[in-house]
């Protein structure tokens, strides 16, 4: 007989790891015990050595669904301590560092339970087990025990308690375990102050009644895992329009939910990878390409009978996602959503319950007070949501799942730090301004918060501060260093600087685009001491090292430093931040910089674009351009997209949300032109050098080609394709130039980051060309390529600098 001490690290607490260990150890005839401690799970086993090896192999194979093993360490134990059975021991140290597990979609076994008419959980909408259900969204403090969650007010009944205390039960230590007898109850309530008659809605229960309301064109506020949503029938124009009007959301697309994959398939194409992503425990919104569908209200599905109202298969309303060729779909991820959509053969809109840009509403009182003018009914329950988590958004791009918004299902799962980052002191990175997240580093891992939105919104900023306090508590995190973006006006930077000053902590300042690249390196496990890479960071705007605005940068970078080696031509932002809302301003500034008004007027006056300009107060603008007042220069790739979109006539006058012009420009790209047209017709760019010798992407030739195509009335989709192709080509040319010295490639790894790479067309063109040229290309998957990822980059840059300085200190 031998004895072994086995340490398992990763996501191993609160996910049913100990009962699995217990079951497998017993099956292998091993004795010993298992317990949680500060770093993970410790297993002591005694038995014969083949049995121990077999047991470990089984443990790796049968990891519980929500667990993730990062590392297993083994050591020999004395044989004399061997107990005569295998037991689960309670946590040994009082400093248990529980990793809080993200919320997970309902599992297949629980679904079986809620649809089993003979079972005691038949149609119980808050069913869950160790392998599924809410976690992060209900936890108030650590350790993750029922008493520290919003389930604490519900005392388990005898049957639930039996499940909860039996190691061989799927609900062993499932903190939100509940049933009809003891758990939270769900109610459908009318909030439009009209009289209530639920009997007319359903013969089943109130969850089912919500379905009838939706089928009848009503709007229902539904309590999800991380917050309330507003729901309506996605095929009902009037309902969707009412939702838009009252929510004050003009054109940005709404997310959809459908009962199952079969319903989604009628409206969107689903590849195998997309199916996996939709069906995963994380259950994000997945961006899918639309199928050609009939005009709203026109087409009745094959086989559907006249008058079969609830089951009519009609098109998703055009108002759901105007101007774009994709739909964001998710599958039901709680039993309540499954039960509600059981009879719904059409998709529903499921959008965050909030007004315009505010954070999602999470509490029952607020929903009643603030949304009674929007929703007709509310479907809610009495289990509190403690932590707000929006739906995550993902997309398959370049054959891989990539997160555009990391929240429910993903946060706050830790991200392992790359080799070389052990022994980093605790630090806190404050993130950016738009799509803000923050990042903690503790015990060799990075914990990236959930998405919180744009801090300029007062409610989002309040949420950010609340979450900072919460994470400090949940992860017992007390930072010694604070990291901020270089932009002096970001609220996150101001707050971070203030805190560093108040608490006398070291404050590290990190340049925005360097943070983008470092985030990409970190999530790819790029080692601390590896060779520098060429980072390509393309986005809207970030604060540059020369105190001007950057947004299209080529950097030779490692974790410690970044050197700007290439850029886009700086163009004036006419009216400062106004350019974000009025894309045509970018077009005008570009054309004035490249071509000038006399030539534009002389050669292109017949274009509606030039006539459009003439309706604007051009003298004022020209004066601003000449003097540089309220027209700061920016080398932004995002603004170039806006400029081209507006020139073609896409989203010219006003953009209702960030990136709208670029998104709509990509949506119309003609695939035939993209894939089959002669390369020579792709819009040409050049790479001259700035006065300071920095090579930059120059768009003069591109603009001449665009104006020429406008004269020829070239179709917009063809122009959009030529632009994407030309831009991808010049980016790759720039990369090759910057990685090559005297015909020899000196840098082999390229990291792509920044919000512009959310553009699937551009990203896939650049990626495939680089891969053809045998570059090692690092891209984002788990962390958003947009500003939602930069907190991770800030954190690792500061960590690297701290480690390197420590190393260079002489030994005491
Ligand atoms: Zn379950
Ligand atoms: Zn019960
Ligand atoms: Zn950025």
Largest CA distance in the chain: 96
If one counts every other C-beta atom within 10 angstroms of the C-beta of residue 305, the result is 9
Tell which wins on pLDDT, 71 or 106.
106
Instruction: Tell me what the mean pLDDT of segment 475-485 comes to.
Output: 95
User: Which pLDDT score is estimated for 711?
Assistant: 96
pLDDT range class, residue 781, cuts 50, 70, 90: very high
Among all bound ligands, the one having the nearest atom to the CA of 106 is 1
pLDDT range class, residue 10, cuts 50, 70, 90: confident
Are the C-beta atoms of residues 756 and 414 closer than 8 Å to each other? no
**How far apart are the CA of 72 and the centre of ligand 1, in A?**
27
**How far apart are the CA of 64 and the centre of ligand 1, in A?**
11
**How far apart are the CA of 168 and the centre of ligand 2, in A?**
18
pLDDT at 26 over 70: yes
User: Which pLDDT score is estimated for 805?
Assistant: 87
Tell which wins on pLDDT, 700 or 297.
700
Share in percent of the chain as helix, strand, coil (round to 5): 35, 20, 45
Instruction: Tell me what the mean pLDDT of segment 192-212 comes to.
Output: 83
**How far apart are the CA of 136 and the centre of ligand 2, in A?**
22
User: Which pLDDT score is estimated for 810?
Assistant: 61
**How far apart are the CA of 333 and the centre of ligand 1, in A?**
11
Are the C-beta atoms of residues 255 and 240 closer than 8 Å to each other? no
User: Which residues, at least 6 apart from 679, have a Cβ–Cβ distance to it below 8 Å?
Assistant: 725, 729
User: Which pLDDT score is estimated for 96?
Assistant: 55
**How far apart are the CA of 373 and the centre of ligand 3, in A?**
37
Mean pLDDT of the chain: 92
If one counts every other C-beta atom within 10 angstroms of the C-beta of residue 24, the result is 20
Task: Identify the three-state secondary structure at position 305.
Answer: coil
Q: Which of 786, 760, 290, 345 is nearest to 541 (CA)?
A: 786
Sheet holding 68-77, edge to edge: 68-77, 2-11, 40-47, 31-37, 86-88
- DSSP letters spanning 455-515: TTSHHHHHHHHHHHHHHHHHTT---SEEEEES-TT-HHHHHHHHHHHHHT-EEEEE-HHHH
Among all bound ligands, the one having the nearest atom to the CA of 512 is 3
**How far apart are the CA of 322 and the centre of ligand 1, in A?**
37
**How far apart are the CA of 133 and the centre of ligand 1, in A?**
7
Among all bound ligands, the one having the nearest atom to the CA of 486 is 3
**How far apart are the CA of 494 and the centre of ligand 3, in A?**
18
Among all bound ligands, the one having the nearest atom to the CA of 434 is 3
**How far apart are the CA of 137 and the centre of ligand 2, in A?**
21
Instruction: Tell me what the mean pLDDT of segment 64-69 comes to.
Output: 91
pLDDT at 40 over 70: yes
Partners of 337 in the beta sheet?
A: none
User: Which pLDDT score is estimated for 367?
Assistant: 86
User: Which pLDDT score is estimated for 92?
Assistant: 61
Q: Considering only 275-279, 462-466, 539-543, 808-812, which range has the smallest mean pLDDT?
A: 808-812
Among all bound ligands, the one having the nearest atom to the CA of 178 is 2
Q: Is 164 left (phi over 0), alpha (psi -120 to 50) or beta?
A: alpha
**How far apart are the CA of 676 and the centre of ligand 3, in A?**
33
Q: Considering only 35-44, 281-290, 412-421, 458-467, which range has the smallest mean pLDDT?
A: 35-44
Q: How far is CA 166 from CA 157, 185, 216, 650, 791, in A?
A: 14, 25, 45, 61, 42
Are the C-beta atoms of residues 324 and 333 closer than 8 Å to each other? no
Instruction: Tell me what the mean pLDDT of segment 671-694 comes to.
Output: 91
Tell which wins on pLDDT, 198 or 27.
27
pLDDT at 374 over 90: no
Question: Which 8-state DSSP code applies to residue 298?
Answer: T
User: Which pLDDT score is estimated for 97?
Assistant: 60
Q: What percent of the chain has pLDDT over 90?
A: 82
**How far apart are the CA of 580 and the centre of ligand 1, in A?**
45
Instruction: Tell me what the mean pLDDT of segment 627-652 comes to.
Output: 96
User: Which pLDDT score is estimated for 94?
Assistant: 55
Among all bound ligands, the one having the nearest atom to the CA of 538 is 3
**How far apart are the CA of 684 and the centre of ligand 3, in A?**
26
**How far apart are the CA of 317 and the centre of ligand 3, in A?**
33
**How far apart are the CA of 161 and the centre of ligand 1, in A?**
16
Q: Considering only 49-63, 209-223, 295-309, 667-681, which range has the smallest mean pLDDT?
A: 295-309
Instruction: Tell me what the mean pLDDT of segment 368-378 comes to.
Output: 86
Q: Considering only 33-47, 384-398, 403-417, which range has the smallest mean pLDDT?
A: 33-47
Instruction: Tell me what the mean pLDDT of segment 555-577 comes to.
Output: 96
pLDDT at 184 over 50: yes
User: Which pLDDT score is estimated for 437?
Assistant: 97
**How far apart are the CA of 273 and the centre of ligand 1, in A?**
23
Q: Which of 522, 357, 361 is nearest to 429 (CA)?
A: 522
User: Which pLDDT score is estimated for 808?
Assistant: 67
pLDDT at 500 over 80: yes
- Copy the structure tokens of residue 18: 């100990």
Report the alpha-carbon distance of residue 39 to residue 296 in Å, rounded.
55
- Copy the structure tokens of residue 162: 């039996």
- Copy the structure tokens of residue 373: 């003018």
pLDDT at 792 over 50: yes
Q: pLDDT digit string (tens) for 260-293?
A: 999 999 999 999 999 999 999 999 999 999 997 5
**How far apart are the CA of 580 and the centre of ligand 3, in A?**
14
Among all bound ligands, the one having the nearest atom to the CA of 151 is 2
pLDDT range class, residue 811, cuts 50, 70, 90: low
User: Which pLDDT score is estimated for 300?
Assistant: 43
Question: Which 8-state DSSP code applies to residue 218?
Answer: -
Question: Which 8-state DSSP code applies to residue 380?
Answer: E
Instruction: Tell me what the mean pLDDT of segment 368-395 comes to.
Output: 92
């Amino acid at each position: 007989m031998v004895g072994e001490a086995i340490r398992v690290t990763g996501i191993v607490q609160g996910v049913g790891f100990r009962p699995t260990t217990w079951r497998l150890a017993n099956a292998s005839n091993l004795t010993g015990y298992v317990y949680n401690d500060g770093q993970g799970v410790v297993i002591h086993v005694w038995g014969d050595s083949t049995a121990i090896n077999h047991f470990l192999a089984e443990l790796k194979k049968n990891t519980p669904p929500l667990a993730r093993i990062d590392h297993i360490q083994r050591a020999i134990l004395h044989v004399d301590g061997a107990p005569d059975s295998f037991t689960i021991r309670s946590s040994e140290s009082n400093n248990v560092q529980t990793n809080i597990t993200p919320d997970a979609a309902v599992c297949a076994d629980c679904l079986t339970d809620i649809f089993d008419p003979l079972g005691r959980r038949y149609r119980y909408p808050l069913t869950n087990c160790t392998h599924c259900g809410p976690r992060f969204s209900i936890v108030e403090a650590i350790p993750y025990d029922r008493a520290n969650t919003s389930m604490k007010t519900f005392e388990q009944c005898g049957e639930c308690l039996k499940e909860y205390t039996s190691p061989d039960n799927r609900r062993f230590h499932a903190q939100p375990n509940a049933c009809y007898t003891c758990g939270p109850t769900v109610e459908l309530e009318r909030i439009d102050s009209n009289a209530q008659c639920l009997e007319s809605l359903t013969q089943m229960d109130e969850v089912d009644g919500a379905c009838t309301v939706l089928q009848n064109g009503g709007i229902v506020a539904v309590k999800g895992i991380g917050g309330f949503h507003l729901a309506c029938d996605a095929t009902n124009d009037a309902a969707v329009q009412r939702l838009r009007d009252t929510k004050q959301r003009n054109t940005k697309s709404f997310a959809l939910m459908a009962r199952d994959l079969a319903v989604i398939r009628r409206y969107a194409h689903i590849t195998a990878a997309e199916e996996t992503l939709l069906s995963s425990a994380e259950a994000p919104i997945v961006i899918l390409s639309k199928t050609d569908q009939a005009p709203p209200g026109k087409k009745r599905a094959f086989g559907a009978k006249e008058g079969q109202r609830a089951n009519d298969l009609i098109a998703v309303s055009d108002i759901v996602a105007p101007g774009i060729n994709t739909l964001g779909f998710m599958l039901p991820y709680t039993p309540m959503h499954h039960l509600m959509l059981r009879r719904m053969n059409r998709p529903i809109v499921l959008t965050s319950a909030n007004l315009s840009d505010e954070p999602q509403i999470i509490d029952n009182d607020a929903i009643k007070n603030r949304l009674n003018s929007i929703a007709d009914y509310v479907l809610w329950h009495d289990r509190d949501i403690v932590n707000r988590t929006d739906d995550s958004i993902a997309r398959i791009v370049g054959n891989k799942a990539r997160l555009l918004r990391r929240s429910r299902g993903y946060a706050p799962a830790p991200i392992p730090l790359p080799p070389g980052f052990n022994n980093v002191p605790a630090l806190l990175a404050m993130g950016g301004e738009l799509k803000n997240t923050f990042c903690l580093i503790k015990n060799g891992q990075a914990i990236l918060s959930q998405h919180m939105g744009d801090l300029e919104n007062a409610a989002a900023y309040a949420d950010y501060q609340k979450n900072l306090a919460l994470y400090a508590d949940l992860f017992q995190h007390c930072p010694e260093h604070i990291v901020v973006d270089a932009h002096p006006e970001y609220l996150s930077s101001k707050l971070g600087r203030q805190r560093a000053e108040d608490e006398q902590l070291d404050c590290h300042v990190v340049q925005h685009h360097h943070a983008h690249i470092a985030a990409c390196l970190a999530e790819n496990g790029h080692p601390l001491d590896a060779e520098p890479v060429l980072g390509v960071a393309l986005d809207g705007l970030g604060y540059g090292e020369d105190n001007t605005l950057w947004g299209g940068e080529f950097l030779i970078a490692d974790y410690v430093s970044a050197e700007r080696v290439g850029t886009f031509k700086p163009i004036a932002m006419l009216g400062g931040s106004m350019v974000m809302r009025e894309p045509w301003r970018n077009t005008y500034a570009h054309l004035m910089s490249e071509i000038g008004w006399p030539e534009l007027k002389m050669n292109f006056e017949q274009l509606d674009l030039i006539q459009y300009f003439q309706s604007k107060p051009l003298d004022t603008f020209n004066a601003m351009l000449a003097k540089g007042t309220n027209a700061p220069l920016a080398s932004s790739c995002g603004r170039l997209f806006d400029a081209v979109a507006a020139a073609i006539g896409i989203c010219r006058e006003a953009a209702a949300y960030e990136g709208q012009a670029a998104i709509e420009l990509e949506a119309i790209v003609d695939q035939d032109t993209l894939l089959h047209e002669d390369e020579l017709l792709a819009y040409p760019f050049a790479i001259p050098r700035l006065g300071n010798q920095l090579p930059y992407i120059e768009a003069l030739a591109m603009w001449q080609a665009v104006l020429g195509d406008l004269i020829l009335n070239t179709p917009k989709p063809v122009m959009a394709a030529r632009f994407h192709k030309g831009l991808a080509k010049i980016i790759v040319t720039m990369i090759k130039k910057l990685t090559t010295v005297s015909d020899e490639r000196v840098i082999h790894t390229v990291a792509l980051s920044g919000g512009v790479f959310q553009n699937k067309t551009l990203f896939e063109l650049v990626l495939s060309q680089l891969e053809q040229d045998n570059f090692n290309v690092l891209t984002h998957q788990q962390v958003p390529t947009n500003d939602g990822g930069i907190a991770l980059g800030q954190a690792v840059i500061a960590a690297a600098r701290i480690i390197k300085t420590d190393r260079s200190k002489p030994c005491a």
